[in-house]
Amino acid sequence: MKKIYILPFFLFGLTSCEKDFLNQEDPNAVSVEQFFKTENDVQLAVNGLYQALRSGSTVGEGSALYSEERSDNTGRDDNQSNAGEPFQFNDFSILPSNSYLKTHWSNMYDAIARCNTLLSRIDQVTFSDDALKKRHIAEAKFVRALLYFHMVRKFGDIPLSLEEITTKEQANELAFRQKEDVVYQQIIADLTDALDSNLPNTQHQYAVGRASKAAINALLGQVYLTMGTTLKDVNTADFFRLAETHLSASYQARTFGKLDEIPYSEVFDVERKNTCKELVFQVQYLRGDQNYSSSIARNNQARGETINSKYPSTGSGGNVKHDLVKDYEEGDLRKTFSIKFATDPQVNDWFITKFRDNSDGAGTAGWGGNDWILIRYADVMLLLAETKMHLGKDAEAIALLDEVRERAGLPSYAEARKDASYDSRYPTLKEAILHERRVELAFENHRWFDLIRNYDAEGLVRYFKKKSQADYGNAQLSNITTKDRYYPIPFDEHKLDPERMYQNPGY
């Protein structure tokens, strides 16, 4: 029995192994060769792809460290002991040796490897319905594209693997960084293939937590928008037109009229997570189950508070930058739902209340049922507004922006601009949309990606250095340089082949 490696890309820990190590047998495990026999086996493998998204080391609810905490929304003030390495992300002092960064890299590639194995093995199984086979292939390609999209935005050039890795030689051959535009083209290819399937328009027509054409179009539209704003020497207008096409297709697939038909609080209501029409794609968690429950409500709750969970917190809860607190407009309903000031003497600060499960089912252990929302319609609408702005369709962009603001209890963009404070803080439509995305999607792990889409490396430095250190906590704004546009390649990956796994500039 040959042992098959589902590529943790550590980066390619296989390179230090002897060939015969690959031929060891594990009597307690089922080999890949023996697994893919029936349609149900494939279904279980597809379930495993979605399960990989649950991890806080990939893109699940605990993954804020790799995105949101890099931004100006959240972070952590403890820079000592075990918190020292996480603190590096928001402090712009991250090192290639950071063990959290290494874990994120390896877990993301492990999840990608699951997709590759399924896609490499699915032809071994005879399906009674070819449409079902095509649907599973579409799901695998959607998940793989999602993972690569996260990685390419964080690291830039990255290794690109599209096949199951079974030998040391294969691993060595693929262990090199491909250019960003090459990775993006593969992401587009995967998502385009996924659209050519019988996946339904919405997850509710299939199963909550699974891919749909609305989700695929939303992701593909964001990919094109990101390419148009971040890649050099490209025809940006073409990318923006494609972004508009796909984001519009996702938006048109909604099953409601105006956004204010769905109250903001309902979007995050654990009792409505399977029926809320705004949710496009979410990662599922199981209330009351120690292994599969959500801990986001209890982890964000501050000492002395009970708004999130019955769990008796002893910490300071989810960190909120005062810079974000000040960015909420007066009367914004999202502020009162999303954050709260904890008066406990040991806290005396703002904490995150957006994610709640105070039910008896979650109990005092805080085993909540919150799903982690990766795509929802307010996100799609504001991405579409941003795209239309780039295409010179300001009136259409403002109409979408106004619909989001209306639900939040705020005046229209035109009315808001009559206020001198608003007009001075957001003097352009670009800044108004970016502001709206910040307060609408706070703590949902979009902010860092929004910033790097709207500012190049030099612009990002200028943006952060305009901020007040007093509103930013212990992390030092003065640390940021143009190198911080990308993360460093983890040291263990770089040292295996410094030439082909070259380090990002500045590290």
What is the per-residue pLDDT across 78-107, written as a single tens digit (0 to 9) for each? 766 556 899 999 999 999 999 999 999 999
**Distances, alpha carbon 383 to alpha carbons 202, 350, 389, 446, 486, in Å:** 19, 28, 10, 11, 22
Which pLDDT score, from 0 to 100, does residue 19 have?
Answer: 39
Which pLDDT score, from 0 to 100, does residue 465 have?
Answer: 97
C-alpha span between 50 and 284 (Å, rounded)? 9
The yes-or-no verdict on residue 25 having pLDDT over 70 is no
Q: 């003497």: which residue's tokens? A: 345
The yes-or-no verdict on residue 240 having pLDDT over 80 is yes
Which pLDDT score, from 0 to 100, does residue 15 have?
Answer: 32
Mean pLDDT of 141-166: 97
Q: Taking the domain 1-198+482-507, which CATH number applies?
A: 1.25.40.890
For the segment 444-474, what is each residue's pLDDT rounded down to a tens digit? 999 999 999 999 999 999 999 999 999 999 9
Mean pLDDT of 165-176: 92
Share of the chain above pLDDT 70, in %: 93
Which pLDDT score, from 0 to 100, does residue 504 have?
Answer: 98
Whole-model pTM: value is 0.93
**Averaged pLDDT score across all residues of the chain:** 93
Strand extents, DSSP E, 186-332:
279-283
Which pLDDT score, from 0 to 100, does residue 78 have?
Answer: 75
Which pLDDT score, from 0 to 100, does residue 77 have?
Answer: 80
Share of the chain above pLDDT 90, in %: 89
Q: 């860092």: which residue's tokens? A: 448
Question: Which of 25-39, 47-61, 171-185 has the least mean pLDDT?
Answer: 25-39
Which pLDDT score, from 0 to 100, does residue 26 have?
Answer: 52
Mean pLDDT of 311-329: 97
Which pLDDT score, from 0 to 100, does residue 31 have?
Answer: 64
DSSP string, 171-222: HHHH-SPBPHHHHHHHHHHHHHHHHSS---SSGGGT-TTS--HHHHHHHHHH
Domain with CATH 1.25.40.890 in the chain: 1-198+482-507
C-alpha span between 191 and 250 (Å, rounded)? 13
The yes-or-no verdict on residue 491 having pLDDT over 70 is yes
Give 84 or 309, the one with higher predicted confidence: 309
Which pLDDT score, from 0 to 100, does residue 35 have?
Answer: 86
DSSP string, 11-71: S-GGGGS-GGGGG---TTS--HHHH--SHHHHHHHHHHHHHHTT-TTTTSTTGGGGTGGGT
The yes-or-no verdict on residue 5 having pLDDT over 50 is no
The yes-or-no verdict on residue 53 having pLDDT over 70 is yes
- Cβ distance 222 to 240 under 8 Å? no
- Using 50, 70 and 90 to split pLDDT, how confident is the model at 30? low
